[in-house]
Structures are given as C-alpha cells and as structure tokens.
Structure 1
Amino acid sequence: MPPQENFVPEAEHVSENKVCGGISQNPCNISTISQNVELPKKQKTSGRDMDFDELLPYVGEFGVYQKILFVLMIPFAFFVAWVYFSQIFITLVPEEHWCRVPELENLTMEARVALSIPPGTNHGNHVTRSKCSMYAVNYTEILEKGIIVADPKWPITNCKHGWEFNYTVIPYPTVATELEWVCENAALPTFAQSIFFIGAIFGGLIFGWIADRYGRIPALVGTNIVGFLAGVATAFSTNFWEFAACRFLFGFAFDNCFTMMYILVLEYVGPKWRTFVANMSIALFFTFAACVLPWIAYYLADWRMTCIVTSVPLVLALATPWLVPESARWLVSQGKIDKAIEILRKFERINGTKVPEDIYDDFKDTCAKIQKEEEAGKSYSVLDLFRSPRLRNITLLLIVIWMVISLVFDGHVRNVDNLGLDVFVTFSIASATELPADTFLTLVLDRWGRRWLACGSLIVSGIFSIWASLVSDHIYAASLAIMGRFCVNISYNIGLQYAAELLPTVVRAQGVALIHIMGYVASIAAPFVVYLDIVSPILPLLVLGILGIVGGVLSLLLPETLDKDLPQTLQDGEDFGRDQGIWDVPCLMK
C-alpha cells in the first residue's frame, strides 16, 4: 500500500496539543492518528472540560454521516492507487525485442531474427537472442544470395535503425517502446520513477503547508487537480524530459490525493472505529483499485489512453467542498470554533442525535482555555528529538526502519515485471495480498503488539524474498515473492503508526513528517534496486530480502507501545520503554 499518514489521538489533558480535539498539526501534511490506541480520558473537573474526543460520542462516533464519509473515501483510494502504480503499465518493455533491419521488413519475424540477430544469453536449454546488437552485413546481398540463416562468424554491431518488439505478452506499445528506452537507454523509466518520488517530497511539503494554512479541503482539491493535469499531460509527452517533468508534477498528487480524505474521516470517527476505518479503507478500496489497474491498461491497449483514463477521474475532487465537511479539529486549531460547531450540528441532524447546548458551551470554553495555554507555552522543533541520547537513538531507528520498509515495499511492487510470468496477472495477485494483510493486522495488532509483529513480518518477508531469488522455477519463485510482498504489507501498516506512538506529543507531528520524507527518499532508490535485474536476475529479491531481515532485527531495539501511555514531553520520550526487556512479548506476558 502506498505511504499514507496515520493520526494519533493524543492525551486530552496535554496543553501542547494544537487542536482542542487532540490532533497535532504539522507543516508537512503528516497529521498523526493512531488507529489502535485509546488514551485514558481525563477525569472530569468541576469546570466540565470538554475536548473534541469527549464531544464526539454525543454527536455519534460512527453514525450515518461517518458511514457516508467512509464510502466517499472510495474514489480517493482509487486515485492514489492509480497515481502510484500507473507508471508500471505505461513503461513496460516486452522481454523479446531486437534490432530493426529495414532491408528485412518483408520477411516474417522469425526469419528476420534468424538472419539478423546474434545469440544472446543462455537460460538452461533455451538460447535467447541479443536485444542490443545485430550482424553488420549487407542484407541486400544476403537476400540476393538466398541465405536464410545467419553465420555466427559474421561481424556484430549495435542497433542502427531502432528496435522492433514482440507484443504477444504485453499487447500494446508503451512510452518506453515508442521512445525506445532499451539497451543504453533502458534505465530511463527507472530515473522517471525516482523523479516521481522527488515530486512526492515536494508535494508533501507544499500541500501539507496548504492543509495547515488553508484547510484540508483546499489541499485535497488542489493535489488532485495537479494530479489530473500532470497525468493528462503525460499522454502528450514526446521525449524523456517532457515525460520526467510530467511524472515529477504527478508525484505531487501521490499520497496527498488520498491522505487528506483519510485524515478527515479519521478525525470524525470515534477511537473504537479508527482501526476499522483506517485499515479497511485500504484493504477494500485501495486493494480493489490496484487489482483492476492492470486490466484497464490491458484492455485499453494504449498507454496514452491509460494515462488519460486513470487521471481524468481526479477532477471529480472539485465536488469535494459540497460533499465533505472541513476538518472541525483544524477549524478549532484556527480559532474558528463556531464554524466547527456548525459542522458538528450537521452531523447531529444526519446521525439523528442531539447534543445539549451546555455541552457545546463547555467545548467552547475548553478550546479557548487550551489556546491561551498554548500561546504562553514553549515551542519545539524536530531538532529536539536529537538532543537526548535515548530519544535520539529511537528517532534514528525509526528513520532507518521506515526507510527499509518503504524501499522493500516499493521494490516488491516494481519487481513484479522481473518474475518471469504474466505481469498483469502477477500484479493483481500481489496487490490482492493487501486485503488479508490488513485484515490480519486489524485482528492481531492490539493483542500481539507492534515490535514483534514488525520484526517477524520483516524477517519473514526477507526470508521469502531470498528464497525466491534462489529458485529457478518462475511460478515457484513468483509465489515466494508474493508471500514476501504479503509480509511487507503487514510491516508497512505497522510502521505507519509505530513512529506516531513512540515520539513525544510536543514534536510528534514534525517527527513523523521527517520520517515519512526519509521514506520517500528511500523509495527513490527502489527502482534502481529492481534495475539490478540487468546485472543478475537474483539481485533485486536478494537485496530486498537482506534489507528486510536487517530491518526486522533493528525493530527489536524499539520499545513496545501496546497498552502504554504515549509520551507527551521530551523527557517522557527519553524515558519511554526503559523498564522493557528486549524479549518482552505482550501476548505472552498477558
């Protein structure tokens, strides 16, 4: 699944929180909600303190309106899947391609290959043909002499007139075949994919700032419109630099085109439903979109139409302001408490609930008091995470582990074309692993804990990946690789919230933002790991497997957060987990 941001409902008595309801704001669009953690409610005082999480049950924690918003997540989940994966199917290159020889165009493909293409590498008993060289002879004279089979002793040269491709398995030309990104130019799709992730970094920063300055809805609409324009523009690319520029801008939409909606819905549901909404929105909607994408490309059989068909739906985001309410928590953080209450009254009407006026009055008073406390409070920066030794070590571990998870996940996604089977079928099966992975995690995460699940899923993913790299049978190897993908899906979802639970409240948002940006940096390298297939077919999965095992072992060095009060201050973060042993296992201790 793609890198999306989680929220962490923070302890309601902590005044450092930027929002009365407990949602931290940050300038990089990484607002954090932990779906699986319910923090202890504060004791009621005579002043009837009432924050957002205490107000929400009066409005309805998962009523009719929240269910409508859950359904409205569907198009945005489709958008992020198509933004993330579409380049795979518009840059495919058929395994079989050879130098084009104009003099032989009247012959059959088999006759052209037999006469002009020297042998390539040996795969068992099967001898392939060279993809980047041809015999350097006078083909007109060869034809006049009636020669139909090449002499291996003929001189060899590089392709002079471009290439021809066998479109039997991949039944349509792609931008890579049209612009002949093969042989010495074979790395260009890899560079384009890395440029996409660079765009994602800039997009996260820009639209994160918009989200915090102008609201979630403007950011949600803006990121989808940029994705729409860049996606459609991609279809008109005529060279690599035009294509790369479009992919850079298209990367602006990655993550953000769904995350803003994800944030909004999670902000409006109660803690008991956050696990379901956060995980099942991915398991159902994102998974289905990813599974159907290969067949959209297959049946359209035109890379330009694939770009257009998967990009035009993003323009539907223009209807968002009329269908989706602005974040009430964000409105409160901006001092627009009356506007937030107006939205909550709409929830009342649709959910069929009734909130007493004195509850709203207490809510207003509490928000005003917290804002005054914040104005006098100390400001913190992400640098504070590195000032004390233990918290610094935890932060560095979180960064390294998330970079490993991001790289391994994206590597498995993009390595599907190297598995030697039908890329359309294999991609759909691999994408479908998201559903059981998310469902499994929803059932066990709050029983088994984060640390050992993260460790186990990463190590098992690594074992399956290494195993797959050592197997010669394509079906066997692909099955093992898909199991590796299943396990890293679990790791990814754990990693999304682990950082949000370990970092202190006062720097949580900024810290999670830093970690996610470093994940994007790691994803830039993922296409190059997959490209190692050019050197040796076993290298991509071998590298992904080794990284997975290393990341799993490092996960054991983190504290467990299950059933623990989340750290609020920097000192809390420094002391968190000191009483834990490396072999502590929550489910066994219970």
Structure 2
Amino acid sequence: MDGNDNGRRAPSKTSSITSKNKDVKKTVDRGQQTSNYKPNIRDFRMHYEGSISSNSVEDVKSKVVRSTIEMEHYIDFDDLLPEVGEFGCFQKVLFALMIPFCYISAFVYLSQIFMTLPPDKYYCFVNELSLIASEEERKELSIPKEVDGSYSRCQMYDVNYTAVFKSKNRSELINSSLPLIPCREGYVFDQNEPFRTATMEFGWVCANDRYATYAQVVFFLGSVAGCLAYGHFADHCGRVAALVSSCSLAFFGSIFTSMATNFVSFVIIRLIVGASFDTCFTMIYILVLEYVGPTYRTFVGNMSLAMFYSPFTMLIPWMALLLRTWGNFALVGSIPIAFALCAYCYLPESARWLVSVGKIDDAIVILKNVAARNKRTVSKSYWKKFRESCEQFYKEEFEGRSFTVLSIFRRRRLARYMVLMIFIWMTMSLIYDGHVRAASVLDKENVVVVFTIACATELPGDLLVIVTLDRFGRRWCAFTFTTLSGVFSLLAANLKNPTHTLVTALAGRFFANVCYNIGLQWAAEVLPTVVRAQGVAFIHTMGFVAMLLSPPVIYLSNVSLALMLNTLGLLGILGGILSLFLPETLHQDLPQTLSDGDDFGKDQRMWHQPCCGPGTRRTQRFKRNWHEGSSLRTLSRDEFRSRKMHRVAVVRPHASSFISRMPSLVSHDTEVLERIEKYTAHDGLKRNRK
C-alpha cells in the first residue's frame, strides 16, 4: 500500500516541482539583469528552488557569504584614493592646472559671440557723396528717415548721385518722396564703435544679417561633430592626447580665424574651432575629478567653475574692447592657449582609462606617484590586491562593452527616463546658451557692461549648486531653478521699463546657470553603470544639437525682444515640469545594471522630497557591503562596468527569495560562480534523501 501511495504521490510531487520551476523561471527572467550570466546559472536556480531542502539553502548561503567576504578584498579606485590622498599636494596642483583650460573654454565659447556682434548704428554708403565733408548732409541727400525720425539703416534714395554731387545747390535736391532701394555699396558704421566686428567688416547686416546667425549655427555643428569624434579618440588614444589635440585645434583655428577674408572662410575655420569646444575643458574636468576623493568632488567640480571659468567669462568682453578689432581679438586671444599645450608634459594620464585598456602597470606607477607626492605610504599587499582587482576588472570590462545606447531603449521605464533626460537637457542647454547670447542684445549701447554682469552670475550660481544640490535633491532643485528661469524670462518680456526688463532677464540668466550645472550630473546618476558613459555622451551631444537653435532664438530679438524672452521663458517652464517625472537620486544607491535602471525610482512618488520626507537619512549599512556606484558621476567616458569594481548592497535574503537575488553576487570568472556551478541540483536531491 505504501508503494501504491508513493506511486500516486510521485506525479503530484513532480507536477508541484514543475509548477514551481515555471514560477521561478518567470521570476528569474524578470530579475535577470544583464546578459553577463551564463545560462546554466538560470537552470541551476530553477532546479534549486524546486528540489532542495531549506538545509541545503542554508549551506549555499554560507558558501556565498564566504565568497562575498572574498569579494570585499577587491579594491576600487574610491577605496584606494583615501590611502594615496584624496585632496593632497598632487590633487591641488592638478586643480591649479585647470586654470588655462578654463580660459580656453571661455575664449572659444564667447569669442564667437563678440566677433559677430551686430552694430547698432549704421547707414548706406554712397561712393559718389564720399567727398562731402558733412556727414549730416550726406545722410540728408541719400538716406530716408523712419517714422521715429531716425535715419534708415538699410535703405537709400534711388537717384543719380553723381548729378547730386555736382549740383551747386544740393539742399534743393533733398526730397523724402524719392523712390527707395536697398543699400548697394556697403555701409557706413559709427566711428565711435569701440569694437569692430566681423559682422561690420563683411557687411552682415540688413539683408545679410542672417549670416552672423549661420556662423553661430555652424560653430555648434562643429561642437556636435567634435563631441562624437573626440569621444572615440579619447577612448582609443587617451584623455591627455584628446585634451592636447583639442587645444591645438582651438589654438590654430583661432589664429587662422584672424586671417579670414569672407563668409565662407570664416565659417569653415569656426567649424574647426567649434570641434574643440567641448573636449578642451571636459577632459581636464574629468581627469582632475578622477584623482580627487569622493568627499571633495562636488566642491572641486563646482569651485573650478566658480574660481576660474566665471572670472574668465567676465574678462573676455574687456579683452575684445581692449584689442579693438575682431582680427586682433582672435589672434592675441589665442596666445594663452599655447601655454596649455605645455600641460602635456605635466598632466598624468587617466589611471582608470589605462586600466580599461589593460595598461595596469602604468596606472599603478601613476598612483604610486600620487601617494609619493601626497607623502602617503601604501603597503605592498594593498598594491597587490589593487592589481588583482584591476586585472579582474579588465576581464569583465569586455562584457560591459557589449552594451550600447540602444540597450537603454529595450526597457520601458529606462527608455522613458532616457527620453525625458534628453528633452530636459536639451531644454536646459537651449535656455542657458540663449541667456548667454541674450546679454548681447538686451542693451546694445552697454553691451560690455551688461555682458560682464551677466557672466558674474555664474559665480553665485555655482555656489548655490554646492549648497542646495546635496540637501534638497536633484529633482526639486532642477524643477525650482529651471522654472524660476522661465518665470523671470516671461516677466522680463512683459515689463515696459527697459531697466526692469534688464534686471529680470539677468535673474533668468542666474537661474539658467544653476539648472545647467544640475542637468548632466543628474542624468549620469539615473543611467545604470553599464551604459552610463555612452548614455551621458549621447545626452551631452543632444544638448549641442539643441544649442543649434539658440542663435535663431536670439535672432527673434530683431523682430521683438519680448518674443525672444517669451520663447526662453516657455522653454524654462516646460523643462521644469518635465524634471518632476525623473526619479530622485540623492541618498539612493545608483543603478548598476539595465534591470537596476528599469526598477530605479519605482518606489518614489512625484512629491518625494529627500530633505523632509522618505529618504532624508541614509540607510545604515556595514561599510564593506555597499558601494555608492560610479566613481565619476559627471562627464566620464570611462565608467567602470565591472561587478567587483562596483559592489552593490548585499542584503541578507530569506530562503524563499535567496536565489532570485543571486545575480547581484555572481559574474563571469568568479569563485562564487564556480562554486555554484559545482553545486548541482542532483547534489541537493541526494541530501534530501539523506
């Protein structure tokens, strides 16, 4: 009878195991984070939950815990930096070396604006009347008047000016009812203009006033191409090589700019200079942050902009005023760039990049030099463990390289985040660049002074980011500052008093500075590690695409200043509202895998506020059991994708869900994987029978 019972019960038990296996397979398929795990691990988990006892689960638990302790011996760069010095003499020298590169970034970006500034006062040149001494008489004979009584800038009378010049009584020939034609022989510009621009020299006014806008657009086309090309170049040739070559491009491009003789030559040269714009600063920015400890990165990243970049932006308009002409400005302004080229002899290569291409010994030599300069002593055993970690990372790095930007769009929630980040960053970029250029048209009679004041808002903006970002979180800071930029722009557009318009527009510029500093860091934190570098680079490139639209937006000021400011205002409010739909990253473990990224923010609500709601305090974890994620959360193109080099939180799981959480502990070529593979379902069944 027992045999019959066993015979009857066996199918029931088998069907129970089968149903469990199906449920587990669904769970595993949903929880499978990347393609880094071998198929037999999934099969093992399926058989495991359906066939082994709780004692066996505890046995495997103990093995994984022991293996996890072994994993803790792997040393990340962020683990090493406190040993060699987080912000010692070496890092302070690097911080000081950012000065020439901040100048290059400010000069390359803003010089284009001043070279193409439109003049405020001009009228048609008439060659036949050039010998008349009185300018007022020349205007009365050739230039019609507008409704407000001022002389027309783009029209002249259609008469025989040779006969007019030879006439004995020219005053009798003054007639406002004569037919009008556009200027045909060039223009006469105000001799009191303090700075002669390329716009004035090449006649980019009236019917040709769009040429200055085209030159600005072409500059940003070069920036888009340079961002893509130099990203590839930096990955293959190194960060320092990309930095120095981009500075060389800016140096020679600026020299040849001063030699341009027409629109075509000017635009081609500025296209080349634009290709250097992004790389000539972001590479040194990344390089410095890589060698600075996590505690100091927010301070160093923002203070470099506040202390170096902001003063140089304030200096650029006065340089233009001092040098008088756009040619001298381009030529003399390029001289300091030559000093930055000498940095090739002093700047260290990125240790992270060296490891990513297998040059581990070279990376360790640099890091030992860091320790020596900071007067720190690191034991040989510690260097040995770090070398082993780098070797393991180099093996696993190739797995991460199989991911592309398209991988982001294969997960619904992650794809939504990516689309939102692209639109938010494009909006922020357009608002920021639009406000930078708007300073040149808000008060055309005091351009230099207004532009200097507008650039001075960079300094308090950078400081405000440091104070608020890690207190109130990314989402609400982005929403608040982007929306405020939009609100002040709308106010400026609808005020009648020119002084009030100027003040409120500058307030909009201030908040645009702040939101621009927040945008890209936030995007880097939302994207998972395996695609972070590529995703951030793509978003950054889309920002340059958005900047292509800023010159046309500023061109709207020729129609109406209110139209330009209303456009910037509506964009600011739109960007602020979109910011509310991204998850908060403050006090959160950053996502490592695609599945982590797809699950990130599921438990957050739109009104979640880190400073006064859930997530105010960090969850207390044992120090060695978690890692906050990417060592560099900004523009780095060499993010780690290794499972060991980026440890995630190890949570003590319950027996029922233990295996489903195992992917956070398992990766190729690890002892954990080997031990689990040796422990088969057949072994579990043997123990059950015992």
Normalising by structure 1, what TM-score? 0.89
Partner of 2:452: 428
Find the partner of 1:110 among 136, 159, 177. Answer: 136
Counterpart Cα distance in 2 of 1:212 and 1:271: 23
Alignment of 1:265 with 2:291, yes or no, is no
Alignment of 1:98 with 2:123, yes or no, is yes
Find the partner of 1:298 among 293, 304, 321. Answer: 321
- What is the RMSD of the two structures over their aligned residues, measured on CA atoms? 1.9
Partner of 2:51: none
Shift of the 557–71 alpha-carbon distance from structure 1 to 2, 3 Å rule, reads same
Partner of 2:21: none
Normalising by structure 2, what TM-score? 0.77
Shift of the 158–580 alpha-carbon distance from structure 1 to 2, 3 Å rule, reads same
Partner of 2:230: 207
Counterpart Cα distance in 2 of 1:221 and 1:584: 44
What percent of counterpart residues are identical? 47
Partner of 1:134: 156
Partner of 1:335: 358
Counterpart Cα distance in 2 of 1:449 and 1:150: 68
8 Å CA contact 1:167–1:173 kept in 2: the answer is no
Counterpart Cα distance in 2 of 1:378 and 1:165: 58
Equivalenced residues, count = 547
Alignment of 1:183 with 2:206, yes or no, is yes
8 Å CA contact 1:202–1:252 kept in 2: the answer is yes
Counterpart Cα distance in 2 of 1:442 and 1:514: 26
Shift of the 423–249 alpha-carbon distance from structure 1 to 2, 3 Å rule, reads same
Deviation, structure 1 residue 411: 0.8
Deviation, structure 1 residue 114: 3.1
Q: Deviation string for 1:533-577 (max 9, x for gaps)?
A: 222222111101111111111111111111111111111111111
Alignment of 1:256 with 2:282, yes or no, is no
Partner of 2:442: 419
Find the partner of 1:227 among 222, 241, 250. Answer: 250
Counterpart Cα distance in 1 of 2:544 and 2:147: 36
Find the partner of 2:396 among 366, 373, 393. Answer: 373
Alignment of 1:311 with 2:337, yes or no, is no
Letter in 2 for 1:82: F
Counterpart Cα distance in 2 of 1:107 and 1:396: 64
Counterpart Cα distance in 1 of 2:274 and 2:174: 47
Deviation, structure 1 residue 201: 1.2
8 Å CA contact 1:121–1:129 kept in 2: the answer is no
Counterpart Cα distance in 1 of 2:173 and 2:434: 41
Shift of the 46–378 alpha-carbon distance from structure 1 to 2, 3 Å rule, reads closer
8 Å CA contact 1:94–1:167 kept in 2: the answer is no
Deviation, structure 1 residue 470: 1.8
Letter in 1 for 2:157: Y
Counterpart Cα distance in 2 of 1:110 and 1:473: 31
Of structures 1 and 2, the larger Rg is shown by: 2
Deviation, structure 1 residue 141: 4.4
Partner of 2:381: 358
Alignment of 1:274 with 2:297, yes or no, is yes
Alignment of 1:492 with 2:526, yes or no, is no
Partner of 1:528: 552
Counterpart Cα distance in 1 of 2:94 and 2:100: 11
Counterpart Cα distance in 2 of 1:516 and 1:135: 51
Counterpart Cα distance in 2 of 1:496 and 1:107: 59
Counterpart Cα distance in 2 of 1:150 and 1:234: 43
Counterpart Cα distance in 2 of 1:167 and 1:431: 28
8 Å CA contact 2:468–2:477 kept in 1: the answer is no
8 Å CA contact 1:220–1:317 kept in 2: the answer is no
Deviation, structure 1 residue 386: 1.0
Counterpart Cα distance in 1 of 2:597 and 2:136: 68
Shift of the 52–121 alpha-carbon distance from structure 1 to 2, 3 Å rule, reads farther
Partner of 1:6: none
Deviation, structure 1 residue 385: 1.1
Deviation, structure 1 residue 43: 7.9
8 Å CA contact 2:356–2:397 kept in 1: the answer is no
Letter in 1 for 2:74: D
Deviation, structure 1 residue 378: 7.3
Structure 1 portions without partners, runs of 5+: 1-13, 17-41
Query: Runs (4+) of structure 1 moved beyond 3 Å?
Result: 42-47, 138-143, 373-378
Structure 2 portions without partners, runs of 5+: 1-33, 37-66, 617-690
Deviation, structure 1 residue 312: 2.8
Deviation, structure 1 residue 333: 1.1
Partner of 1:438: 462
Counterpart Cα distance in 2 of 1:297 and 1:317: 21
Counterpart Cα distance in 1 of 2:321 and 2:437: 17
Deviation, structure 1 residue 148: 7.7
Shift of the 535–344 alpha-carbon distance from structure 1 to 2, 3 Å rule, reads same
Q: Deviation string for 1:165-211 (max 9, x for gaps)?
A: 1142x313221111101111101111111111111111112221121
8 Å CA contact 2:76–2:389 kept in 1: the answer is yes
Find the partner of 2:490 among 455, 460, 466. Answer: 466
Counterpart Cα distance in 1 of 2:151 and 2:401: 68
